[in-house]
């Protein structure tokens, strides 16, 4: 009985590892804005300037989002990519994941006035 459960568990883990993962390009220093297409594919639009790290890429995407909103845009959430990681700009902050299907981790949080900060950098009240 225990052996069968172990075999079943190993089989489930193996199937999970084979699941399709959508991974972004891994170009060094290149920041992308990711646009989903009608056919389900993703279009990677390269931002003009090279970025030093994920935080700078996220800040460039945030600046682009704010500019679009000031011009009458309505897209509050944006997906980007940097060096093999997806970046998700959301109302709560900025999250990152190695694939679209993977769990998202907090990269930056929003302060009370909407600015971005490293988690734990702002004092709690």
> Which pLDDT belongs to residue 116?
81
Are 119 and 106 a contacting pair, CB within 8 Å?
A: yes
What one-character DSSP code corresponds to residue 113? T
> Which pLDDT belongs to residue 92?
87
Extents of the domains making up the chain: 22-117
Q: How far apart are CA 78 and CA 96, in angstroms?
A: 12
Q: Identify the band that residue 28 occupies on the pLDDT scale cut at 50, 70 and 90.
A: very high
> Which span out of 9-23, 72-86, 105-119 was modeled with the highest average pLDDT?
72-86
pLDDT of 91 > 80? The answer is yes
Q: Identify the band that residue 76 occupies on the pLDDT scale cut at 50, 70 and 90.
A: confident
Mean pLDDT of 83-96: 93
- 37-47 pLDDT, tens digit each: 999 899 999 99
> Which pLDDT belongs to residue 83?
94
């Amino acid at each position: 009985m225990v052996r069968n459960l172990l075999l079943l568990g190993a089989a489930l883990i193996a199937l999970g590892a084979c699941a399709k993962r959508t991974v972004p390009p891994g170009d060094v220093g290149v920041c992308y804005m990711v646009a989903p297409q009608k056919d389900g594919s993703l279009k990677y639009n390269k931002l003009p300037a090279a970025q030093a790290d994920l935080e700078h890429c996220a800040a460039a995407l945030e600046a682009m989002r704010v500019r679009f909103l000031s011009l009458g845009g309505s897209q509050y959430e944006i997906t980007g990519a940097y060096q093999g990681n997806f970046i998700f700009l959301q109302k709560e902050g900025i999250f990152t994941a190695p694939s679209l299907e993977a769990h998202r981790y907090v990269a930056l949080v929003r302060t009370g006035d909407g600015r971005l900060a490293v988690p734990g950098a702002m004092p709690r009240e």
